[in-house]
Structure 1
């Protein structure tokens, strides 16, 4: 079972991004996804910068995949997607059907979690277009994954989002700008002030969601480390860990210790909790509301 570092969902300063991936090169992650998936107004890094980071990570022995933007709204954004699809050196994660169309029949690609592949016919169709790996939708429960695993096309790898705030929805509007009464086209790059997103609470002061520009995330951190044995039994090939601003190297190390059985999964979870930016949840995996936390039964 491989560990993958998902695409950076937040907007960080340029030097912070370069330093982050320099640190990730020294971790035991096997796959690294790179690129801007949320908002094209995030200009700290251009495509050339992402390609530079990709080359460095590849030299460090990592499999590098370039991720396309989820919601495309302009010709410039479509043009960037075309350039990513035609890069010729690195794999590509398709996060919308336009990217799938651009890649289909040309090069193998990763079918991202936002493509909503919920059943065997859609999975088989995506594999026929050239998908070599698919990422399970975030809200899919393990019982449904088991059904798909039994009939998935030969050679198609399965990846599961196993750690991080879940990207739940994308919008044409920028919620972070709106929070500051700014228009989207003059957002003043407000996301830079929120390296792990901006927490949203209900009127009862309960943590509810996190707003991250045009993206809405879960307020809690999805964490399946204590379900690692179940995922292994289901034949999951890759675990995706989503970047956070602090302690990411330690999070990777604990997942690695759990997958190599140097630590029991429940012990890894206990050590991880003080390193997380918010309390954990895992409800979707168990067929429950996503914000719930279902404790794993530890064998005596």
Structure 2
């Protein structure tokens, strides 16, 4: 079982990003995803900056993947997408079908991000035929569902051609919109957002009127209010999950990485925090925190 760091989904200052990836280079993580996957207005790091970081991480022995945008809205974003797909060195995580089209046209392998929403064995087989080497399972699906999917007869002859990656830690991306809800929460229009999301390094929490945490706003992305944490479900992933993904948080990411790696066999279970959840993997409501 390998461990990955997904792309940073929040808007962090350049120095913070560089510091984070230096820590990643010095850590025991196997795979690191780089790139802006949420909002094209976030330009603290540009393409060339990500490429420099990618080279540094590769020299440190990490597998590097470049993550593309999930929601493209302008020709300039399409041009940037082509730069990622045509980088010539690193595997690409495609987060929309446009990226898959470009990569397939160029006969390049790719990782299918969770936003591609592969829900059945026919879709999975189709993606393998297009060049998919790894896929990230949709966050709302269960371990039982994954086991059933991988056992479908149509998958058996290509089962060794791809890896399965599971989003296992962090606030789950649930939806994307052409509107920026972080800007709206500050009474700003999207075009005059003044990049206010940089003030919320882990997104802006939204509570219901009765005080229950419901969502986290992250620009055009809406995330789960609770943090997904499958640290104690690692033993149940054997035979189905090849890569465990941790989504970077502003604090404590590498401490949690160490805890995950220590608990691969279930020998070092960890207490969950109050706002942690694990329901989806266990075929329960997503907000549930189930204690084994």
Q: TM-score, normalised by structure 1?
A: 0.93
Matched residue count = 286
Q: Could you list the structure 1 runs, at least 4 aligned residues long, displaced by more than 6 angstroms after superposition.
A: none
**Using a 3 Å threshold, how does the CA distance of structure 1 residues 265 and 136 change in structure 2: closer, same or farther?**
farther
Q: 1:235 maps to what in 2? A: 240
Structure 1 vs Structure 2 CA RMSD: 1.2
Which stretch shifts more, 123-132 or 285-294? Answer: 285-294
Deviation at 1:265, TM superposition (A): 4.5
The separation in 2 between residues aligned to 1:53 and 1:6, in whole angstroms, is 14
Query: Gaps (5+ residues) in structure 2?
Result: none
Which stretch shifts more, 112-121 or 151-160? Answer: 151-160
Residue 289 (str. 1) matches residue 290 (str. 2):
no
Residue 86 (str. 1) matches residue 86 (str. 2):
yes
Deviation at 1:235, TM superposition (A): 2.6
User: What CA deviation, in whole Å up to 9, does each residue of 1:136-185 have, x standing for no partner?
Assistant: 00001111100112233231111111111101101000001111111111
Which stretch shifts more, 28-37 or 150-159? Answer: 150-159
The separation in 2 between residues aligned to 1:219 and 1:97, in whole angstroms, is 27
Q: Does the 8 Å contact 1:227/1:265 carry over to 2?
A: no
Query: Gaps (5+ residues) in structure 1?
Result: none
The 5 A counterparts of 1:192-271 are 192-232=198-238, 234-259=239-264, 261=265, 264-266=267-269, 269-270=270-271
What secondary structure is seen at the aligned counterpart in 1 of 2:8? coil
Deviation at 1:93, TM superposition (A): 0.3
The separation in 1 between residues aligned to 2:113 and 2:254, in whole angstroms, is 24
Q: Does the 8 Å contact 2:32/2:65 carry over to 1?
A: yes
Q: Does the 8 Å contact 1:228/1:265 carry over to 2?
A: no
Q: Does the 8 Å contact 2:167/2:246 carry over to 1?
A: yes
Q: 2:148 maps to what in 1? A: 147
Q: Does the 8 Å contact 1:225/1:265 carry over to 2?
A: no
Q: Does the 8 Å contact 2:146/2:240 carry over to 1?
A: no
The 5 A counterparts of 1:30-41 are 30-41=30-41
Q: TM-score, normalised by structure 2?
A: 0.95
